[in-house]
Amino acid sequence: MVAAAAAEATLAPLRVLEGRLLLIVSLACLVFFRDPARTLAREPDTVYAPADGTVVGVGRVSDDWLPGGEALRISTFLALYDVHVNRSPVAGRIAAAQETPGAFAPAFLERAHGNHSKRLAIEDGSRRVVLVQFAGMLARRISSWAWLGDRVDAGQRIALIHLGSRADVLVPAAETRPLVGVGQRVCAGVTPIARYLTAQATT
């Protein structure tokens, strides 16, 4: 009896610690997997943020998925505490899709552009917008809910990038201007990040 009581007394602090760790992990999962509703009052000729996070890059790059090959790229870093549900930056049809194996560098670094990624080209009439989702160094996984041939609306949920990641939007550099700068916080499906210089003709 004495030995059993002593053993129980020894285990009691461990059980308290275990309970606290379980609570912390449960709360972390609730934070990570949260998916708040978003209402988008869509404006014409506007491209929206695909992810919650911080803009870490705005600049011109070469990209053969866009007409002319020159793109305006806007990169958003998603920290662990950000909502990780990705949303479509524009409305249209997914005309091209590609998954590329790669490394798993920290997503806030420039070399994260070599990480495992999924790339979507979304077309609306004559316009094409490219979204590239990069996996981070922890969970290393992207769960897609929209893929080749699907039609999507601006702000529609299309993917979940697990535990720290990066999302790039590429638009034709000659046809658009950025609306955000490095260091700015953006909200998926809500924050305008780029705008076309001329209106698209409608029929």
Start-to-end C-alpha separation, the chain: 87
Residue 75: Cβ-neighbour burial (10 angstroms; 0-12, 13-18, 19+)? buried
Catalytic residue among 75, 88, 117, 165: 165
Active site residue 165: yes
In sequence order, what are the residues at sequence separation of 6 or more whose Cβ sits closer than 8 angstroms to the Cβ of residue 179? 192, 193, 194, 195
Give the sign of the dihedral formed by CA 158, CA 136, CA 179, CA 203.
negative
CB atoms within 10 A of CB 198: 8
3-state secondary structure of 24: helix
For 202, the token pair is 């409608």
CB atoms within 10 A of CB 10: 9
Active site residues: 165
